[in-house]
Structure 1
């Protein structure tokens, strides 16, 4: 097994950093601090912008025109650094007891986002959902009966969708239709030794999965289910990851704050021999 050690990239402590996204055109890394309700951008290891969003911020994905689609506690919004927030969708059956937790764009630039309970007793009742935002501003329910909706990814050939419902400790594998964005059926499930959180896919089609509570990111072959790599993170609450850098061989890792741990809530990085896939922007015009 390949073994790596993550190093500090951004030393600022966050409550719950999530949703990292690499902007290849500008060299910017962006992410959200969910509990602080902030969207943050950095360049060359220095924070250059911090925007308060006024509510819990599950994720923010850049658009083609310099804005962000943001999955917030009360719905889905467009965020413009110049004009602020504009609500564009209220997902069906999303109650005030739920919030968005993670989001990603599919190969066609459609925006997918999933929910979890706002406050949980630890039992993670399976009453959350995975949504896909359409051109008309309406959200389609793609999956129900979810405990904690988390990481998403698509294979390089655009035919497979990977999805983490954290309490199940597995990655579900679906046949995916890139033309209409539909899921054609559950094809496989990959058991994970830990709590899968955010994830990303490399250029060879392998998964890189942040393990919440384990202080690690693992590399997993989705065909054989082999864990071929492990990245140690010096704090337990590793939350998500994405590839970036000029050659897409730097893996950036977000974490959450743990009381009494000065290494928690930081942004980490590690150099890997394999490249990732470029981040997918949202192509919807809303």
Structure 2
């Protein structure tokens, strides 16, 4: 599939970051929001003027940022995974500093390196996110200290959906099929659940794809997204590619190869939602190799996704 696609880096050498993640396309503002977890920083890529704006969060300059999602009906507020806290921040999209305006909830853990990682909203605007332990802990696969949470806007509290997760990562929904897909990078597989859109709950856990059986490489599945046809796009940490999966047949359809190893996540955007934006990382060792840590865009035939959902606070 890569032969029919055009892969371009949006960032320049100076703009590359340690660990870009969590891309979210805002249809209203025609902008892509994403984070540098290790920076830590938040970003907005404006499609109209091709500019990238960067900001830190006041008094949280050293706190790692897992994700950023715009708040519905509000162009300057975002729900952000900030360390162990789920917060609302205010940012005009251009200033070099954002501010925390509310802490919605805090995950319960005494582990120093424990934090919120990837997060996303379901078709109804409920925010779900995973947590993780220390990625360099060699016993992480045994401890599995992370969880998957949903924030309940009525009770203003966290609902623990699943425990015993190593690195809570990619998540996406297929509303037509009533399915929810989730990645724990440590187990190296994608889980699929039946999803109840009324309650926000899911059940009947199955393994969709086990990469330890389908691939000999030792990459880790990272973030993911879904296209308008229900195909799932999975980023690979140390895999140099995005793997495209047919969720109905549970088979791998194709791969998109990148000029850098650590592919972290992807999201569809652009005026027609036919651009696949892809985040990458340099990694924890800060080894700057090629275009590592850059933001990319992929264009070509059969590239189109659904509109991403904003966080609904009420």
Classify 1:76/1:249 alpha carbon distance in 2 versus 1 (closer, same or farther; 3 Å).
same
Q: Which residue of 1 aligns with 2:51?
A: 46
Output the CA distance in 1 between the equivalents of 2:301 and 2:202: 32
Output the CA distance in 1 between the equivalents of 2:309 and 2:192: 20
Equivalences for residues 207-218 of structure 1 within 5 A: 207-218=232-243
Q: Which residue of 1 aligns with 2:71?
A: 63
Residue 18 (str. 1) matches residue 26 (str. 2): no
How far did residue 26 of structure 1 move?
Answer: 1.6
Q: Which residue of 1 aligns with 2:293?
A: 265
Q: Which residue of 2 aligns with 1:146?
A: 165
Equivalences for residues 107-122 of structure 1 within 5 A: 107-118=123-134, 120-122=136-138
Q: How many residues align?
A: 285
Equivalences for residues 58-137 of structure 1 within 5 A: 58-64=66-72, 65-66=74-75, 67-81=77-91, 84-85=99-100, 86-93=102-109, 95-118=111-134, 120-124=136-140, 125-135=143-153, 136-137=155-156
TM-score, normalised via structure 2 length = 0.86
Give unmatched runs, 5+ long, in structure 2.
93-97
Classify 1:94/1:146 alpha carbon distance in 2 versus 1 (closer, same or farther; 3 Å).
farther
TM-score, normalised via structure 1 length = 0.94
Give unmatched runs, 5+ long, in structure 1.
none
Residue 191 (str. 1) matches residue 194 (str. 2): no
How far did residue 75 of structure 1 move?
Answer: 0.8
Residue 229 (str. 1) matches residue 230 (str. 2): no
Output the CA distance in 2 between the equivalents of 1:250 and 1:78: 28
Classify 1:131/1:271 alpha carbon distance in 2 versus 1 (closer, same or farther; 3 Å).
same
How far did residue 50 of structure 1 move?
Answer: 2.5
Question: Is contact 1:156–1:205 with CA below 8 Å preserved after alignment?
Answer: no
Classify 1:272/1:191 alpha carbon distance in 2 versus 1 (closer, same or farther; 3 Å).
farther
Q: Which residue of 1 aligns with 2:198?
A: 179
Q: Which residue of 1 aligns with 2:95?
A: none
RMSD of Structure 2 on Structure 1 (CA): 1.8
How far did residue 6 of structure 1 move?
Answer: 2.5
SS of the residue aligned with 1:247? Answer: coil
